[in-house]
Structure 1
């Protein structure tokens, strides 16, 4: 099983282009916090500009700005989920993509509905273990549990909370 980070599964119902950029940047930092090299796909129901309206347009615009202003972030999109998770299919079908040869470990969704639905589907199908949701971008960390959280879910999230507390304490001492 591979590690997969999903954003935003909890807060932003219909993010703007600017909010998607913030989500991508915060996701990049969060994945690095877990000692992983972020490889980010921004997903949609279209691929690389095939639809130029609504959420695909917002994602496409966010990608353009991220590529221009944050070239250190390995990110591309917008793309359908199958292309995000299958790098051979993605690289063959879209050889110009900036993720070429890399396995995506971070998915940024175009809205809360798709993110939360994918997250809950993976959990219900037993194909994933959840750690989180983890709230990003606040001055101090906060953590949420779900009504259906298992003991293991709570222990996992508590571990993240302890790590956040240690980081926060170190920042306060600086």
Structure 2
């Protein structure tokens, strides 16, 4: 499996990955095994007393695992001062120190920004906006990126697909879809080692129906094809046209992508979020993600239904992003 390959690359490198919900049983289990296998250096964030008590109850050793408690963090003054400068005075020093930095999402994002952590995971208990809004405000998008998106890797019996954007952009326009596609193709190729064949999905295949959704997917496809990209993309197309060769022969006989797509760009958050969860829950596909794309540091949200195994694998992805893009 691809995460096994990535794990071998980052193992023993001491990449420091923080976990916002440090007392969550799933996080404690994942952190214990990450440390045991020397995969990453897990750092648990939150109330130290609560974390130690819960670990003791669950009999997970915290030996060699660092805990950072915002209430006793010794460099909170300098961190607050830095936050004021980042936010350009939108918050004053006392507000940052006494209030905002006691929010674990802001505290965790600032730990990444200030170099205490190499990457960050949260979302076991927190909604996506509470995890990613602080990252967008203090870590910000990477140079050259105008938005941040996400994708999932879905795998089953050796077959792998990428789906985007499943957690962030509610109703992207054609320009935003172009950027989401570029980011997702990069993740497919450079993180998950999938050579992207990208299908721009809709309820129409190559003009078989009309509507705003169809038009924006078609326009995004046209713009991508004008660019000097190094991957195949086509659309707009229906999902069956994208993955079933027999259907593709009828609906898109001249397409290089139709029938063989492995990377799917959805027209909106509703369809993508529903789609990947149907695949996972009814189809039995393992979903790894969401992997955040376009941030200036490796920070990702987690599904609140995530398992300890899923957290372990996402920590590998976060650490590999650090190794690949930010070393």
Q: CA RMSD in A?
A: 1.5
Aligned to 1:164: 321
CA contact (8 A) 2:205 2:238 kept: yes
Aligned to 2:168: 11
Equivalent runs, 1:53-68 vs 2, <5 Å: 53-68=211-226
Q: CA deviation at 1:52?
A: 3.4
Q: CA deviation at 1:78?
A: 0.7
CA contact (8 A) 1:44 1:56 kept: yes
* Higher Rg: 2
Equivalent runs, 1:109-124 vs 2, <5 Å: 109-124=266-281
User: 1 CA distance for matches of 2:186 and 2:272?
Assistant: 19
Partner secondary structure for residue 66 of structure 1? helix
User: 1 CA distance for matches of 2:324 and 2:209?
Assistant: 42
Which runs of no fewer than 5 residues in structure 1 stay unpaired?
Answer: none
Cα distance, 1:71–1:157 mapped onto 2, change above 3 Å: closer
Task: State TM-score, norm by structure 1.
Answer: 0.90
Aligned to 1:25: 182
Aligned to 1:139: 296
Equivalent runs, 1:78-93 vs 2, <5 Å: 78-93=236-251
Count how many residue pairs are aligned between Structure 1 and Structure 2.
Answer: 169
Task: State TM-score, norm by structure 2.
Answer: 0.49
More contact order relative to length (CA 8 Å, sep ≥ 6): 1
Aligned to 2:308: 151
Which runs of no fewer than 5 residues in structure 2 stay unpaired?
Answer: 1-156
Aligned to 1:72: 230
CA contact (8 A) 1:51 1:57 kept: no
Q: CA deviation at 1:126?
A: 4.3
Q: Give CA deviations for 1:92-119 in whole Å, capped at 9, x if unaligned.
A: 432122326x621110000000000001
Aligned to 2:35: none
Q: CA deviation at 1:35?
A: 1.7
